[in-house]
Structure 1
Amino acid sequence: MSLLDRITVNAQQCGGRPCIRGMRIRVSDILDLLGQGVTEAEILADYPDLERGDIQAALLYAARYVNHPRLSA
């Protein structure tokens, strides 16, 4: 499985914004937390359904699609 396979986009979920593995946790939510200085360990503790690879996938998605309109909150 590629890291980007963890990112899903569903028009019926979260307004079509990229999410983590079909959950209602948006890529932008993860990026916002990281941008605020929240550590990976803290994010994983607060979101027990997340895996380390999900955070890595969010970062990779942002790096590749930073100007993508659906990444915006």
Structure 2
Amino acid sequence: MNPLLDRITQTPGQCGGRPCIRGMRIRVSDILEMLAENVSSTEILEDFPDLEPEDIQACLLFAAPQLTFSTARIESDLHF
């Protein structure tokens, strides 16, 4: 397992138990949404000074396996 994934935490009672960054109330999904909306990593780091570049990379690493599952499901639902 990539050690960057240790930056992703899930704590019951914090942000509904959703994955967060290093125990902070910054959800992985929030960072991913910002990236999807074309907000640069530099802008994210400026807006959240407690974040480090490795935190953004950890969010992407955390999300990647989820996409593999979703893609397989989408492909199986396609009918040509």
| Count of residues in Structure 1 that have an aligned counterpart in Structure 2 | 68
Distance 1:64 1:22 in 2: 21
What residue in structure 1 maps to residue 12 of structure 2?
Answer: 11
Give me the whole-angstrom Cα distance separating, in 1, the residues matched to 2:6 and 2:66: 14
For residue 12 of structure 1, report the CA deviation from its aligned partner: 1.3
**Larger radius of gyration between Structure 1 and Structure 2:** 2
The structure, 1 or 2, with the larger RCO (C-alpha pairs under 8 Å, 6+ apart) is: 1
| Structure 1 residues not aligned, in runs of 5+ | 68-73
- Cα RMSD of the aligned pairs, angstroms, is 1.6
Structure 2 counterpart of 1:20? 21
Matches within 5 A, 1:1-73: 2-66=3-67
What is the TM-score when the length of structure 1 is the normalising length?
Answer: 0.87
Q: Which TM-score applies when normalising by structure 2?
A: 0.80
Alignment match, 1:70: none
Amino acid paired to 2:58: A
